[in-house]
Amino acid sequence: MGKGPIFIGGTDRSGKTTLRAFLVSHPNISIPANGSNMWSYFYGQFGDLSQVENFERCLDALMHYKHALYLKPDPDRIRHEFWQGTPTYARLFALFHEHLAEREGKPRWGDQTGLIERYADQIFEAYPNAKMIQMVRDPRDRYQASLTLWPKGKGRAGGATARWLYSTSLAIRNVRRYPNRYMIVRYETLVRDTEQTLREVCTFLDEDFIPSMITMDGDLDRRFRLTQGLNIKPDTNPLTPDFIGLYHQAVPQKEIAFIQGIAGKQMKAIGYSLDAISFSLSDRIRYILLDWPLNMLRMLAWLSLEIAHHNFPAQFGRKLSSNMITPRKHQNNKVNARAT
């Protein structure tokens, strides 16, 4: 059995894109810069794809999804090749990535998608030789990075804690279930000991370590973003320990207290130490009566919605935001005949 696809998972702002930039600097590995999110937004939402009508609806939706279009798909080729194998969502998604890797001249395709770990069972069943790497980051730093990007996010610490606990629980469960096919990489370890971590990742992927991976020469745009404003030489590792611990100056004590109070046990199990929290009497009363209950409601709301999305995709599947969909032109409604 040959080398299979590579999936990079984890929460948003956990280092998936950074790991991807290192991996695509390998001559054998193709992973698009934009996460496809196909499993999150399309899996199971169009019924049985062995029915032509369902397949065409799914393909049409994908062909109006910006992250899928980023892969420059050829719908006629996808349509033709899809019916030459088992008509499943996994096969359809793979064709988009296989064709991109082929154009890039690389023998192995991959995908980075937030929380792809929720689909580990389905992915490993569909691709028997697949490997999955999950990035894990200190939930306080991950939350700080999220606030920087989405300062008006409604979930705040409650939603962030729910995502982190959900993701890390899946990581622990998946690595136990698939010990030879699943790997957990801490963001902080990647930053502090980049070369050794990449060597271990390459061993896990059955690939040779290539020294030029360290400089991210396969994704100079990502390198530029990481090093912008920093005094880092062009031929060196773009990561610096300055990326670690930023939450100390940016996340309010009451939110750190909530994250640690709810996720502290899991944090310590993964290797993160907890901060000492000191409240004044008035702040403690406010935290107990207002901040904690509010964030707990946000946490429970996120988890409830996630359960509905994941277990009932046809009825309550995740929906794309309008800015991720290209405008639809007038189209013929006829369903294309099955290619032979």
pLDDT digits (tens, 9 = 90+) for 85-141: 999 999 999 999 999 999 999 999 999 999 999 999 999 999 999 999 999 999 999
- The pLDDT value recorded for residue 314 is 86
Please give the tally of structural domains in the chain. 1
CATH of the domain at 303: 3.40.50.300
- The pLDDT value recorded for residue 154 is 77
Would 86 be classed as within a structural domain?
A: yes
Residue numbers of the domain that contains 81:
6-324
Exposed / middle / buried, residue 64 (Cβ in 10 Å: 0-12, 13-18, 19+): middle
Would 60 be classed as within a structural domain?
A: yes
- The pLDDT value recorded for residue 336 is 43
Q: How far is CA 217 from CA 8, 212, 234, 236, 238, in A?
A: 19, 7, 10, 10, 11
- The pLDDT value recorded for residue 334 is 41
Would 334 be classed as within a structural domain?
A: no
Low-confidence ranges of the chain (pLDDT < 50): 330-340
Would 335 be classed as within a structural domain?
A: no
Alpha-carbon gap, residue 32 to 40, rounded angstroms: 16
Contact 197, 19 (CB under 8 A): no
- The pLDDT value recorded for residue 1 is 58
Would 333 be classed as within a structural domain?
A: no
Contact 197, 189 (CB under 8 A): yes
Would 159 be classed as within a structural domain?
A: yes
Would 337 be classed as within a structural domain?
A: no
- The pLDDT value recorded for residue 335 is 42
Would 153 be classed as within a structural domain?
A: yes
Q: How many CB atoms lie within 10 A of CB 316?
A: 14
Closest CA to 145 of 184, 188, 113, 197: 188
Query: For the whole model, what pTM was predicted?
Result: 0.93
